[in-house]
Amino acid sequence: MKGYFITFEGIDGCGKSTQADLLEQSLKARGCDVTHTFEPGGTALGRKLRPILTDGGTELSLFAEVLLFAADRRQDMDEVILPALGRGCVVIGERFADSSIVYQGVAGNVGRDRVRNLMNIVTDGLVPDLTFLLDIAPEQSLARKTSLDRIEQRDRFLGIARQAYLELAHEDAARFVVLDASRAIEALSQDILDSALLRLEHRRYDHV
């Protein structure tokens, strides 16, 4: 049975990790075989790349940044995502190609189409079945954080990224579910679970 690929997207501080964890727990409680991964850092290679990409100690050109994220993503695909999908698992990913298109392509001015084309090569055209976009205003997301990473410190960056995410969601409305991430965690989690279960049932997952 073919697996099902769910991703969480949104600007930093929107609650992706919290909601991905809660969805994983809820689906497992219903008997689903779930694999949960994240970017950057879901593999041994990713854990080595993460401090380079986030801590700011290494000076990176924007295109070099794209390529390092691409390397992390491809390793995650080969090591985690594709094997799990092949086993029929539900794969929950915190970020995927949409993040590179938004963060480096649009907000980083590398070029949206340029990065999208690169991501199509890196992912062999793999597209999530369902993407939850946790939408929140930058000032609210930053208020949740005790420190800013190298990418978040860029002037006006998160506001541009938020708008780019909303544009992607509008263009691919069948895949994206846009949710207000400023809401209470429990209410947001329930909406995510309801939407995921509806999609999974539509795919006739008999173990849901």
Q: What is the Cα–Cα distance from 79 to 137, expressed in whole angstroms?
A: 34
Mean pLDDT by 10 residues, the chain (208 residues): 92 95 98 95 91 80 92 96 97 97 94 97 97 94 65 70 97 98 97 97 60
Q: Report whether 189 contacts 23 (CB < 8 A).
A: yes
Spans of all domains in the chain: 4-202
- Helices and strands (H and E) in the chain: how many: 9, 5
Q: Is the dihedral of CA 125, 126, 129, 135 positive or negative?
A: negative
Could you tell me the two tokens for 111? 């070029």
For residue 47, which phi and psi values (nearest 5 degrees)?
A: -65, -30
The pLDDT value recorded for residue 207 is: 44
| Fold of the domain spanning 4-202 | Rossmann fold (3.40.50)
Task: Note if the pTM is more than 0.85.
Answer: yes
Which residue type, as a one-letter code, is found at position 87? R
Q: Report whether 2 contacts 82 (CB < 8 A).
A: no
The pLDDT value recorded for residue 206 is: 47
Q: What is the Cα–Cα distance from 144 to 128, expressed in whole angstroms?
A: 28
SS3 category, 94? strand
The pLDDT value recorded for residue 204 is: 59
The pLDDT value recorded for residue 56 is: 67
The pLDDT value recorded for residue 55 is: 76
The pLDDT value recorded for residue 2 is: 83
Q: What is the Cα–Cα distance from 37 to 80, expressed in whole angstroms?
A: 8
The pLDDT value recorded for residue 70 is: 96
Residue identified by tokens 């697996």 is: 3
Residue 98, Cβ density class (10 Å: 0-12 exposed, 13-18 middle, ≥19 buried): buried
The pLDDT value recorded for residue 205 is: 45
Which residue type, as a one-letter code, is found at position 2? K
Q: What is the Cα–Cα distance from 113 to 78, expressed in whole angstroms?
A: 24
Q: What is the Cα–Cα distance from 67 to 78, expressed in whole angstroms?
A: 16
